[in-house]
Structure 1
Amino acid sequence: MRYWEDFTVGMVLEFGGYEVTEEEIIEFATEFDPQSFHIDKDAAKEHFFGGIIASGWHTGSMCMRMMVDHYIGDSASMGSPGIEQLRWKKPVRPGEILQVKAEVLDRSLPKSRPELGFVKFSHTVLNQKGEVKMTMISSGMFLRNPENSATEASQ
């Protein structure tokens, strides 16, 4: 279990290996972002992207999945207060394999909630060639380690 104390400024986590399929791109976009260059192969060929590409929202969702699989799922996560910055740098195409590089930028403890802390991350989504596809700066809330809190309370 990872707690707030386990995320230190400068810490870098690298993970992923998510293979993007054309079927998944079309399925996601049909439901949530039905623009022609996400769902129609013929129309996408004529678009300036030159073929089917993933919705930026889909790219963000794939990033979130990898984050949960790598570090959020086995942490004392209490959610997130939001995203500060999100940039779609290059389109994600079928057949690409995505990975994430996450760096801890900052951490803080709120005075009003001593049982949890905030961790600010920079996330970069890259493909198998190292091309940057998306960047995101966001914060997560994590419970503090109860063993550390108990020790601090008795001092």
Structure 2
Amino acid sequence: MIYFEDLEIGVEREFGHYDVTREEVLEFARKYDPQPFHLSDEEAAKTHFGRIAASGWHTTAMTMAVLVAHMNDEPKAGLGSPGVDELRWLRPVYPGDRITVRGTVLDKTPSRSKPDLGSFRTQTSVTNQDGVEVLRFISIALIRRRPA
């Protein structure tokens, strides 16, 4: 179990990969972001995307799937998150891409009001198979302190 005290500031860690499929891109778009460039090759060709691209929200959801799978493999005493800052979709993600998720702990702060808790901020970076960054955000997470 990883606790607040185990977090190392400045260390980059790789959390895993996700293979993007056309079927998932279309399914997500139909359900949550039905814009033409997420649903139609012809319509996407008329845009800067050039072809069907995953919704940024879908890319964020795929990133979360990688993060949760990693947490299941390496449990943390995490208690959720109060939010995300500076979410940026930097480049399109296309069917056939493989995205890789990495994170770096930026800082950590013990709770002033709850001695058994702390929080930390992580910059998450997602790259495609060519090493091009496609998504970046800073998340804030709550985590338990190591029991005495």
> What TM-score range do you get, normalising by the shorter chain?
over 0.9
- Output one character per residue of 1:1-49: Cα deviation in whole Å (capped at 9) or x when no partner: 1111121111211132210001101111111111011112221122221
Q: Which one has a larger percent helix, Structure 1 or Structure 2?
A: 1
TM-score (norm 2): 0.94
Deviation at 1:72, TM superposition (A): 6.5
Distance in 2, Cα, partners of 1:32 & 1:114? 40
What's the counterpart of residue 64 of structure 1?
Answer: 64
The total of aligned residue pairs comes to 147
CA RMSD of aligned residues (A): 1.3
1:41-120 aligned at under 5 Å gives the runs: 41-71=41-71, 74-120=75-121
Query: Does the residue aligned with 1:70 lie in a helix, a strand or coil?
Result: helix
Bigger Rg over Cα: 1
CA apart distance, 1:117:
0.7
Task: After superposition, give the CA deviation of every residue in 1:114-134 in whole Å (9 maximum; x if it has no partner).
Answer: 111101000100011100000
Whole-angstrom CA distance in 2 between matches of 1:141 and 1:36: 38
The one-letter code matched in structure 1 to 2:55 is: S
Q: Which runs of 4+ in 1 moved over 4 A?
A: none
Residue 65 of structure 1 and its aligned partner are, at CA, apart by 1.0
